[in-house]
Each structure stands twice: as C-alpha cells, then as structure tokens.
Amino acid sequence: MTDQDDAARAEILARLAVSREELRRALDPTRHEPGGGGSTLGDGSGGFPRSRTMQMLMSGRGLGTLGAAAAGLLIARPKLALRVLRMLPAGAVTKTLLLRAIAALRTKRE
C-alpha cells in the first residue's frame, strides 16, 4: 500500500506543479500597459500601488468593477455592506475620493 500511496502522492504533486505554473503564466504580466496607473513591480521606483492587484483595482476598469461589486453587496446584504464600510479607514478613503474628484474636474476644464 505504501508504494501506491507514494505513487498517488507523486502524481498529485506533479499535477499541482503544473497548475501552479499555469497560474503563474496567466497572472504574470508579459507587458506593461501604459496609463494603467502605478508602477510595475520590477522598475524599483517604489510608487503606489506596487502590487498588481492594487494597480488593477485603482485603474478605471478596476474601480468600476469594485463599485459594481460594492453596489451589489449593498443591495443584496445592506447590513453586511455597512459593517464592511465601517472597517474602512475613512480618512484615507475620503482623501482618495477627493483627489480623484479634483483630478476629474481639472481634466474636464482642460
């Protein structure tokens, strides 16, 4: 039985390694999209946001997706949405929203 268990374990580990490699290829960006906001991980500039997840969320499409998910949560489960809202740092969120609003007004004037 030990040989069968070892063989099964080796097969599972091999499949896991293959799936990890597929995920790495799928999630690792091959090119930098201009205007995506933030810096890339490898350029060493240290700008915000550094992680690819935050870069995606802070882009225009990411904010739209995040807003749609928040609206859906607010409609489906308002009590949970308000509890999550209380956990957010209000000062940082307010500052970010104000900066985005001012930037939008400036671009609209120009």
Tell me the pLDDT tens digit for each residue of 37-59. 444 444 445 566 778 777 777 77
Pair 75, 94 in one domain: no
Number of H helices, E strands in the chain: 5, 0
Q: Tell me, yes or no, whether 62 and 100 share the same domain.
A: no
The structural domain count of the chain equals: 2
78 and 94, same domain (yes or no): no
User: Three-state SS across 17-78?
Assistant: HHHHHHHHHHHCCCCCCCCCCCCCCCCCCCCCCCCHHHHHHHCHHHHHHHHHHHHHHHHHCH
For residues 33 and 80, what is the distance between their CA atoms, to the nearest angstrom?
35
Residue 58: per-residue pLDDT: 74
| 92/67 same-domain check | no
Same domain, yes or no: 10 and 34: yes
Mean pLDDT, the chain, whole residue set: 78
% of the chain with per-residue pLDDT over 90: 16
Does residue 22 share a domain with residue 44?
A: yes
Q: Do both 34 and 61 map to the same domain?
A: yes
- Domain containing 95 equals 83-110
The pTM of the full predicted model, rounded to 2 decimals, is 0.38
Whole-number Å distance between alpha carbons of 25 and 5: 30
Same domain? For 11 and 58 the reply is: yes
My answer on whether 60 and 89 are in the same domain is no
Residues 73 and 88 in one domain: no
